[in-house]
Amino acid sequence: MKVCYARVSSKTQNIERQTKELEENGCEEIYIDVASGKDFNRPNYIVMKSKLRKDDKLVIHDLSRFGRNKDEIIKEWKDIIDLKAEINVLNMPVLNTAQYKDIKGIGKLISEIFLSVMSWTVEEERNRIREAQQEGIEIAKVKGKFKGRPVKYHEHAKNAQDRLIYNEVVRMLNNKESVMDICKRTGVTRMTIYNIKKRISV
């Protein structure tokens, strides 16, 4: 069976270019994740991998859509090969394991070397993007233009429900209840609770 995997980092990114090319390559099933490529702890990737069987073919549009961490990419690649499944990265013909199926030695070696180099490249690209984003934030801060994410829960929140939740969090904090208990009962993240605690302690 030919199985396809596609990934974007956020909902604002367009998945259609990937899925269109995958469909044109005869994929029977396409698994899609909206998640970071830093690791492989992604719900649909995990489901897809659990269903891979011997002689199945996993098709990916681009290695960066597979992952962004060199060591993780190489580990997952080996896991899939150990399942006796094939992998085909469409925009990198050398990363099509089917062509090395009956070749021992040089062909497989070329594929492994290329995978190592390209996985390092996509990891470096991710690092450059993160550094550029951080530099942009720092510059914006210096210029006074970076405001960060707006605070949702505060005493003057326009949304009545957000204001009620804030008041409940403050009440529980004043009663010395643990952050974990407050998190479970209100559904507010621990980081947000710590931020509220910090603000009311000032």
Q: Is the pLDDT of residue 82 over 70?
A: yes
Closest CA to 197 of 160, 159, 166: 166
Instruction: Say yes or no to pLDDT of 66 above 60.
Output: yes
| Catalytic residue IDs | 9
Residue 151 domain-assigned (yes or no)? no
Phi, psi of 91 (to 5 degrees): -90, 10
By residue range, what is the domain housing residue 53?
2-126
Looking at per-residue pLDDT, the higher value among 144 and 115 belongs to 115
Looking at residues 59-85, what average pLDDT do you find?
88
CATH number for the domain harbouring residue 19: 3.40.50.1390
Residue 85 in this model has a pLDDT that exceeds 80 = yes
- The residue from 74, 107, 126 where one domain ends is 126
**Does any domain span residue 146?**
no
**Same-domain pairing of 114 and 165:** no
Q: Is 117 exposed, middle or buried (0-12, 13-18, 19+ CB in 10 A)?
A: exposed
Distances (CA, A) of 185 to 59, 120, 199: 43, 43, 21
Task: Kindly tell me if the per-residue pLDDT of 26 is higher than 80.
Answer: yes
Residue 33 lies in a domain: yes
User: Domain tally for the chain?
Assistant: 2
CATH code at 178? 1.10.10.60
Model confidence band, residue 97 (pLDDT cutoffs 50, 70, 90): confident
Distance CA 176, CA 171 (A): 9
- Check residue 107 and give its pLDDT: 47
DSSP 38-93: SSS--HHHHHHHHH--TT-EEEES-HHHH-S-HHHHHHHHHHHHHTT-EEEETT-G
Confirm if 86 and 56 have CB atoms less than 8 A apart: yes
Are residue 8 and residue 107 in the same domain, yes or no? yes
Of the pLDDT bands very low, low, confident and very high (cuts 50, 70, 90), residue 99 is confident
Please give the model's pTM, rounded to 2 decimal places: 0.57
Between strands 2-8 and 29-34, the pairing is parallel
Asked whether residue 86 is domain-assigned, the answer is: yes
Which residues, 6+ apart, have CB-to-CB distance to 91 below 8 Å?
A: 61, 62
Could you tell me if 95 and 183 lie in one domain? Answer: no
| Token representation of residue 161 | 């429900």
